[in-house]
Amino acid sequence: TEFKLTDHLPTKQKFPHLKAFEVDELVNYGLAGQNAPSIQMTGVHLEPNDYHAKMAEKDTVIIDVRNHYESVIGHFTPPPNGAQLIDPKMRKSTEFPLWLDKPETKKLLQNKQVLMYCTGGVRCERASALLRTKMETEADVKDLNIKGVYQLQGGVDKYFKNFPEGGYWKGKNYTFDKRFAHAPPLLEVEERYNKKMSETTPPDSKDVPEKKNDDNDDNSNHNIMGKCEACSKPWDMYRGKRRCPTCGVPSLICKSCFEKDKSGVCKLGKHIKCTLCREENITSKKQVKER
C-alpha cells in the first residue's frame, strides 16, 4: 500500500506525536505467524480510475472489508447493472476469515471477479491475500471459479483525490484519526460553505429557505447515509465515548440526543444499541462472544 500524508488539518485534528511499535499483525485478522497469508499473494492493485471502471462491470462483487459501523455512514454504490456491493457486517477484522468461510459467502463469490476496498488500502492487503491463498490451497474455494481478485490502491483516501466529487461513493469515509469522518473534497467544501452561509445570513432573509430542523446544525442532510441510533434522525458523525452496550462498537448518536442524555431529559439506556445488534437481535455481550 502507499504512505499517505494529510495536509492542512485544523490544529485540533493533528496528532501531537508519532509512535512506532512492533505488532504481530498490522491488521488483526487472528492470522499471525504460520497462519498468516503471504503478502506476495495480494490481489491486483488497481488505481482509482481503473477501479472505478471495474465497478461498472457485470459478474463482479465488491467486498467492503471495513467494519459495519464504518460502512453504515458511507460506502460505494455501484451503477445499475454493475457490480454488487457486499457488506460482511463485521464488528472487527478478526471476523473476516470466519465470514469468508461461510457457504453463503462462497455462493456470492462463485463465477465472479472480486473487488475489495478499505479506508487506505492496508486491510485489503491481508484480506485479498487470504482469499487468493484459499483459492490455491482449498478445493472448495478453487471450485468457485473466481475470475480474479482486485483491490483499490490507496483505498478510499486515494479514490477521493481522483474523484473529488465522489464518483460512485455515497456518504462519508470513516477514519481512525481526529477527522472522524470526511466526505469527498468538493462535497466537504460545499458543506462548509453552506454551513458558513447559514451562520452569516440573517434569519429573516427571503433568499434562504426556512430551516426545518435545528438539530442538524453541524450535520447537513446532504448524502447522509447513517441514522441516529436513538431517534433515527439522519446522522453520520461519531462523537463522544459512548459505545454499543452489547457489542462495544462506537455509537452513532446525534447532537440533540447526546445533549438530552447529558441534561437528564432523556437518558441513553442499554436498549439503545447499534444497527447490527438490532438487526441480529443481540441482547447481551455473551451472545456476541458466542457468535
Q: Among 118, 124, 228, 247, which one carries the catalytic annotation?
A: 118
b or e along 115-153 (b: 16 or more beta carbons within 10 Å of the residue's beta carbon)? bbbbbbbebbbbbbbbbbbbbeeeeebeebebeebbbbb
Map residue 126 onto helix, strand or coil: helix
3-state class of 125 per DSSP? helix
Beta-strand pair 44-46/148-152: parallel
Which three cell numbers, joined as nine digits, stand for 113?
471477479
Q: Which three-class secondary structure state does DSSP give residue 76?
A: strand
Contacts of 57 (CB under 8 A, 6+ apart): 82, 83, 113
DSSP three-state, residue 174: strand
The DSSP output letter for 241 is: S
Q: Is 118 a catalytic residue?
A: yes
Residues marked active site are found at 118
